[in-house]
Structure 1
């Protein structure tokens, strides 16, 4: 019996109780909350439905809970229903009813945990979008891991997800990048406001290899040659780094295309024509203050040139024209103001501001030997994706970046992530999967296989029940992670699953030893282990982390 199935049983029992008393049941929630008590002695599951609803329907919580307990105790699969405190209801399930959860996992396989929460939703997920002026720094690396995992989770809930990278190939930063390349090609120091590091020298040399006469061109042509070749080289490298990190995109959208095609001008004109902008001090402004911004924002400056937000408006309009009904932006810690600006832009174009969601990620720091790591081997100034991957590998980097809420600043302990011990979270989870795979191989050597038709009612040990119930939580965890846009919930769940499995393994011998014969309990436990292995594989896949069979 799954937690969702149990929730349906509790709700049905509540409807029966209220109907028997001639009471309306409109106050009942559509979905009853079922939780696992922290203390196993209180039962397998618990609900506070009576406390939540009783007063609304004119009953005392304890009386409502007693009536629910009486009906549920008579239900197949429930061995006990007990009322605690002012009206909490604690439930215990029969072992065979719990065992059905194991069969569901094996029947669903790689699809176990998936749902339809976002079925029919067309979602644009924009993340990383680092400026093509240097390698991806740690902030962008965090978004590469979290954004990719979020895309997988949203897809697993039925969403039609397009992963998009906004290529900022217009503006002052590109000019500074180009001037830095030209200076490096000439053997001169980087401009005061430019970019430094070995990568600039490498790209400048490659520009000259591809265009040997670049430095002899007149100023405008020289600038264009270094811009065209240099930006493309940098962006090609960024895309390769992301791919090597396990993060790929469906769309690479060029900011410059919005200006070249006139879409920025069209979007601004639309807003003017519909009185969504106002003129003040020679500039055109958008009323972003109505959406939480600290002030209104200039869209067209008093010199007639578009401000950066003009491109953002045209870009959002393009997304909505492409049919997306949810636009998720994953931005850095210094982009809080974009929340109000983008929502104001959506409203100004006549769309629902809630079509726009902005997730803000905090900074990432590296620590080694108890001290901050500040210098990159290649970039010279900031730590890059390549630095982190070189230090700990892709799996450890992705997992560590994903296992924390993006709302918090993250300090990554490189020494911890290099350890092959249970202190290292990714090792702890991957080792559980590898241990299960080893168990399966050993069983095969003994001629024993897991069996979906095994008598799972034999799994009566407390640790067996805890493992089954933890397995059963996976679909709910995925749904919640999608709802809240929080992939870290999946990582933390997997760590809890690993703990439940290791505790089970320590007390429940699975395979026979010596001349012992396999028993029905052997097959039941092996089947449970097979289900646990499947959930580990599914969860790690959603995080973009490998599930090794040997470690």
Structure 2
């Protein structure tokens, strides 16, 4: 019996008790999903729920009395061995061995679909992350958002949501101008302009621009005027830099559905349309020759200029147009991932959301990520060989590989600062979390191969009542939590929950493996149902480990 099946059984018991009057409760109060969780102590049963404590007041009953009604009925449900009432009204549920063990077959037969669900079906979500300016390689903060954002997208999709991964291509404004001037200066053998960009990558791109232009037979930009030459380096340089960013992200197993160009907002008239919409809603006014958005009405600390006195759009004007564009494309939710330096940005963005008539933190969500520090040989890694001043995606991948990079960045809450020990992440030891989880999966595959060599076949027998060792019930219970963890990670926007779950599952599997030399017959021992049944459990564990690693964008190796 899976946790979902037990939850549905509880709901059916509740519904029946309400229908026959045993529980004086409004049928509408019966929850669509009755939450069941693993008790902290194994002695308290396989699963526990506090549903009686949640609903007793609505029924005008004491929680324990409410729980007694449920316990009596739940004890008759097939697969439930016993139900005990604890404390003020907790229900502690113990499944019979066969019902618990049946989960192994359910997982194997579901395969890649196990852990997926439809709880978020019907939600259209625009998830914007990374969105690094195309003026240099992706720095380590952007790499963290690449790992976390893509993992979150996978988890939202696993729960049924329609997710579009979007990259906001910042190709409008002064940063791009400084980038173009930096390329031109480097091509001329000059120092970077004030506020410009340095590093070997600038020289590489400048050389590539010259090669591309000359190969196409176009005028040599070094013979053009400053303005003309700068435009050549801007157009080609941005294209080359962004092409490299996309290629590096693809190699990092991150691809976007939409690359949205900021410039298009200004060229298409989207900014003007957004201002007009807000004016019609009564939230725009004129003062000091400028056009203002009255964001203080919605909790911002001050009103914001959206059109300057010279008629130019202020920075927030692009945000207004971009948010409205997302909503007009039919997205129910716009989730934006920003770096730690954007924390002060939240108030004005939520005020903007309200000004459009939407609900902050429902139609618009902002996730703030904290800094990442790399440590090697006990010392901080502070700069890139190529970029000169920052640590980049290449630096991390070159040091530890894609799997370790993605896993280590996604396994901690994004709103906490993390230190990554590059030496630890390259060790083949249990202290290295990605190795620990991947090794558990590889071990399940090795067991399956050895079993096949000795003629142990799942198809020849399955008796879940044989999975009666405490390590087996512990492993089964941990496997059963997977779907709930995935949904919780998606709803809370916390992919690290899946990583930490996988480490717990790997620990339960390794312990089972060490305690029960279980699948391979010993000596002259004949192959029996106990070997075949344990092979089902072994393979079920491997399935969940592989599914969880896939949600993190990490490979599940067959051998290590």
**What is the TM-score when the length of structure 1 is the normalising length?**
0.96
Find the counterpart in structure 2 of residue 361 from structure 1.
369
Find the counterpart in structure 1 of residue 13 from structure 2.
13
Cα RMSD for the two superposed structures: 1.7
Counterpart of 2:349 (choices 321, 342, 347) is: 342
Whole-angstrom CA distance in 2 between matches of 1:110 and 1:86: 40
Find the counterpart in structure 1 of residue 514 from structure 2.
506
Find the counterpart in structure 2 of residue 382 from structure 1.
390
After superposition, give the CA deviation of every residue in 1:311-344 in whole Å (9 maximum; x if it has no partner). Answer: 1111122222222222111111122244333333
Q: What SS is found at the alignment partner of 1:302?
A: coil
Whole-angstrom CA distance in 1 between matches of 2:501 and 2:424: 20
Find the counterpart in structure 1 of residue 217 from structure 2.
none
Whole-angstrom CA distance in 2 between matches of 1:368 and 1:58: 62
Q: What SS is found at the alignment partner of 2:260?
A: strand
- Deviation, structure 1 residue 459: 0.5
- Deviation, structure 1 residue 345: 3.0
After superposition, give the CA deviation of every residue in 1:249-296 in whole Å (9 maximum; x if it has no partner). Answer: 111111112212222233223333443212222221223334443222
- Deviation, structure 1 residue 350: 4.1
Contact kept? 1:452, 1:527, Cα under 8 Å: no
Whole-angstrom CA distance in 2 between matches of 1:62 and 1:509: 43
Are 2:32 and 1:23 aligned?
no
Name stretches of at least 5 consecutive residues in structure 2 with no aligned partner: 215-219
Name stretches of at least 5 consecutive residues in structure 1 with no aligned partner: none
Are 2:524 and 1:519 aligned?
no
Find the counterpart in structure 2 of residue 208 from structure 1.
210
- Deviation, structure 1 residue 73: 2.4
- Deviation, structure 1 residue 140: 0.5
Aligned pairs for 1:146-161 (under 5 A) are 146-161=148-163
Are 2:91 and 1:84 aligned?
no
- Deviation, structure 1 residue 517: 1.1
After superposition, give the CA deviation of every residue in 1:106-164 in whole Å (9 maximum; x if it has no partner). Answer: 22111111111221222211110000000000110001111111111111111121111
Find the counterpart in structure 2 of residue 484 from structure 1.
492
Larger CA deviation: 5-14 vs 275-284: 5-14
Q: What SS is found at the alignment partner of 1:12?
A: helix
Contact kept? 2:125, 2:163, Cα under 8 Å: yes
CA spacing shift, 1:61–1:269, aligned 2, 3 Å: closer
Q: What SS is found at the alignment partner of 2:341?
A: coil
- Deviation, structure 1 residue 79: 1.1
Find the counterpart in structure 2 of residue 543 from structure 1.
552
Q: What SS is found at the alignment partner of 1:145?
A: helix
Whole-angstrom CA distance in 2 between matches of 1:252 and 1:22: 55
CA spacing shift, 1:82–1:273, aligned 2, 3 Å: closer
Q: What SS is found at the alignment partner of 1:358?
A: strand
Whole-angstrom CA distance in 2 between matches of 1:419 and 1:190: 41
CA spacing shift, 1:67–1:350, aligned 2, 3 Å: closer
Find the counterpart in structure 2 of residue 463 from structure 1.
471
Find the counterpart in structure 1 of residue 39 from structure 2.
37
Counterpart of 1:528 (choices 531, 537, 553) is: 537
Contact kept? 2:25, 2:58, Cα under 8 Å: no
Contact kept? 2:181, 2:230, Cα under 8 Å: yes
**What is the TM-score when the length of structure 2 is the normalising length?**
0.95
Whole-angstrom CA distance in 1 between matches of 2:432 and 2:386: 27
Are 2:243 and 1:232 aligned?
no
Aligned pairs for 1:391-406 (under 5 A) are 391-406=399-414
Contact kept? 1:443, 1:449, Cα under 8 Å: yes
After superposition, give the CA deviation of every residue in 1:31-70 in whole Å (9 maximum; x if it has no partner). Answer: 2221111110111111122222223322222233233323
Whole-angstrom CA distance in 2 between matches of 1:214 and 1:546: 46
Q: What SS is found at the alignment partner of 1:313?
A: helix
Counterpart of 2:229 (choices 193, 218, 222) is: 222
CA spacing shift, 1:30–1:159, aligned 2, 3 Å: closer
Find the counterpart in structure 1 of residue 417 from structure 2.
409
Whole-angstrom CA distance in 1 between matches of 2:495 and 2:92: 30
Contact kept? 1:326, 1:356, Cα under 8 Å: yes
Whole-angstrom CA distance in 2 between matches of 1:477 and 1:327: 23
Larger CA deviation: 78-87 vs 448-457: 448-457
- Deviation, structure 1 residue 22: 5.9
Q: What SS is found at the alignment partner of 2:459?
A: coil
Whole-angstrom CA distance in 2 between matches of 1:157 and 1:434: 27
Q: What SS is found at the alignment partner of 1:91?
A: strand
After superposition, give the CA deviation of every residue in 1:369-418 in whole Å (9 maximum; x if it has no partner). Answer: 22211011110001000000001000000000111111111111111101
Larger CA deviation: 51-60 vs 184-193: 51-60
Whole-angstrom CA distance in 1 between matches of 2:185 and 2:438: 48
Are 2:301 and 1:294 aligned?
yes
Whole-angstrom CA distance in 1 between matches of 2:177 and 2:11: 63
Larger CA deviation: 383-392 vs 104-113: 104-113
Larger CA deviation: 411-420 vs 508-517: 508-517
Q: What SS is found at the alignment partner of 2:74?
A: helix
Contact kept? 2:479, 2:544, Cα under 8 Å: yes
Contact kept? 1:463, 1:503, Cα under 8 Å: yes
Find the counterpart in structure 2 of residue 437 from structure 1.
445
Whole-angstrom CA distance in 2 between matches of 1:290 and 1:389: 46
Contact kept? 1:37, 1:43, Cα under 8 Å: yes
Q: Give the total of aligned pairs.
A: 551
